[in-house]
Structure 1
Amino acid sequence: MKPESSSALVPSDQRNPVYQISTLQALVMGNFYGCLEVQDLLTHGNTGLGTFDAVDGELVVIDGHCYRIVKGGKAIEARPHDTTPFASVAFLDEETNDSLRFDALTSIDALRHALDEYLENRGPNNMYVMRVDGYFHFVAARTELRQQEPFKPFAEVLQTDEDRFRFNSIHGTLVCFYFPKYLDGVNTPGWHFHFIDDARKVGGHVFDLHLVSGRAIINKTDRFVLDLPHNRAFQEAALDQASKDEIRQIEQGAGD
């Protein structure tokens, strides 16, 4: 039997990657030390998500600007020298990517189902970055409060310092990343959603939603760039011992 034919890869300098600083395992285990400045993160992408030094709020990158989500869901534009211990970004533009329209998706599971159907034709083993601009009946979200050393595991942070809130009847954008299952631990497998409103005043990590209508722009990428921290906490961590349950808890939160 003849081997399946394949075309040569496009040179890497012509393919926009997903860029990531650190790994989710490190964050799970309490490595909250900022190791990359926001101004440097933004050279790698105009769309993204993550957190800040000492997990001082959720991080949202949209249209080339970086925002910190603080208590109550308030969004504040980050300063250039603010740092992140963990974030993923990519370049996303309307001209070179797919677009989809959504109507009446009444839960985050319904959105995931619609996106999984999209993946059936496009391939689940690549990475995807997406934004969904639309009108939401509600968005249920969270952020975290700043931690003090010695840092405890992220799951314990969620038990004591997770701040949840809900936005009703709001126009805004979901920033979404998809990572395949084989990257479990490097990042969250499946779809991960952050939200920010059109006025860039509120946002957070999304648990649930009701999308009335929206339009998505999606970029499929076959290239992943991972930078590792140089701090001692990363070098000495037994990252293979990071709990998969705790990794899932970062996505689902303490209350789910």
Structure 2
Amino acid sequence: MRVTISLAISTLIVVMIFTTSFVPHPPGDTPPNHLFTVGVGAGLIGGLYDGYYPYGKLKQHGNFGLGAPDKLDGELVVFQGKVYQTQNTGKTFEVEDKQLTSFAMVNFFKADKKFTINSTIGKEALFHFLDSVLTNVNGLYAIHISGQFSYLKTRAFPPVKEHDHTPLTSMLNLQHFFEFNNAQGDLIGYRLPSFMDNTNISGYHFHFLSAQKNAGGHIIDVKADKITIEIDQLDSYSVQVPATNDFEKFDFKKNRAEDIKSVERGQR
């Protein structure tokens, strides 16, 4: 079924396609429509940067997602079953299975809905549109956006030393920013509900990967020209709790929801 929707935001023309095909059971022990999380979001924001979970094992639980590298030095994207790191220099490359992540979220992506936007749209209008089609405010959604972007601004954090627990909000002035014009590529991300804050990261969260797989980073700003949006609604999630001394001693009593939002925006 194909439906054309006319919206007031940026005079968008959107084509929506529903897909109802059977979703096969993913490999391994991960159920369909499941978000698998390594680490705890508030822990990463508060300084738990040391990697403990290998990428090879992470890929057994999902072929799509994002996260943080061991001792930071950038951002992670999981796309089409491969894991890419964008370092604070901007260098982007596929990582080895034996390397480690401190925090990541993945799922086996299978689109339930698909939309095409054929006109220019900025970040605020894009999120407004997504809100209009992701109608369950307490739902878990994996979101893949691909196509042409007239402008992108991304960031990556620098590396830290082992067991350095400086909170990410205290490192905002150390971020490295990257700007791209007329770029082709993919946004890999999620919209998660408020009840997942601190355990995970609520709201919208996207990382970029260029079509050439040589550039990326956490999305700070975006303006798209012609994009396809694919939505995968999830219905469960789990957390792989770190078995490390640093995690066992970490103070989770502090509510870091505002710190998480600052880190997501790239500014206080």
TM-score with structure 2 length normalisation?
Answer: 0.85
The share of aligned pairs that are identical, in percent, is: 28
For the pair 1:193 / 2:206, whether they are aligned, the reply is yes
Q: Is the 8 A contact 1:47 1:90 kept in 2?
A: yes
Look up the equivalent residue of 2:76 and give its one-letter code. Answer: L
Corresponding residue of 2:155 = 142
Deviation at 1:129, TM superposition (A): 0.6
2:31 and 2:97 map into 1 onto residues whose CA distance is: 27
Secondary structure of the corresponding residue to residue 241 of structure 1: coil
Look up the equivalent residue of 2:131 and give its one-letter code. Answer: D
1:119 and 1:108 map into 2 onto residues whose CA distance is: 16
Q: 2:167 aligns with which of 153, 158, 179?
A: 153
Q: 1:50 aligns with which of 32, 46, 67?
A: 67
Look up the equivalent residue of 2:151 and give its one-letter code. Answer: F
- In the TM superposition, what are the counterparts of 1:8-47 in structure 2 within 5 Å? 15-47=32-64
Deviation at 1:73, TM superposition (A): 2.5
Deviation at 1:157, TM superposition (A): 2.0
* Count of aligned positions: 240
- The structure in which a higher percent of residues are helix is 1
1:248 and 1:25 map into 2 onto residues whose CA distance is: 11
1:218 and 1:113 map into 2 onto residues whose CA distance is: 15
Look up the equivalent residue of 1:61 and give its one-letter code. Answer: V
Output one character per residue of 1:189-217: Cα deviation in whole Å (capped at 9) or x when no partner.
Answer: 11111101111010110011110011111
1:182 and 1:243 map into 2 onto residues whose CA distance is: 13
Look up the equivalent residue of 2:229 and give its one-letter code. Answer: A
TM-score with structure 1 length normalisation?
Answer: 0.89
Q: Is the 8 A contact 2:33 2:233 kept in 1?
A: no
Unmatched 5+ stretches in structure 2: 1-24
Q: 1:75 aligns with which of 59, 78, 92?
A: 92
> Measured at CA, do residues 13 and 79 of structure 1 come closer, stay the same or move farther in structure 2, by a change above 3 Å?
closer
Corresponding residue of 1:229 = 242
1:73 and 1:100 map into 2 onto residues whose CA distance is: 30
Q: Is the 8 A contact 1:20 1:89 kept in 2?
A: yes
Secondary structure of the corresponding residue to residue 118 of structure 2: strand
Output one character per residue of 1:55-83: Cα deviation in whole Å (capped at 9) or x when no partner.
Answer: 12100011111000013422111111110
Secondary structure of the corresponding residue to residue 100 of structure 1: strand
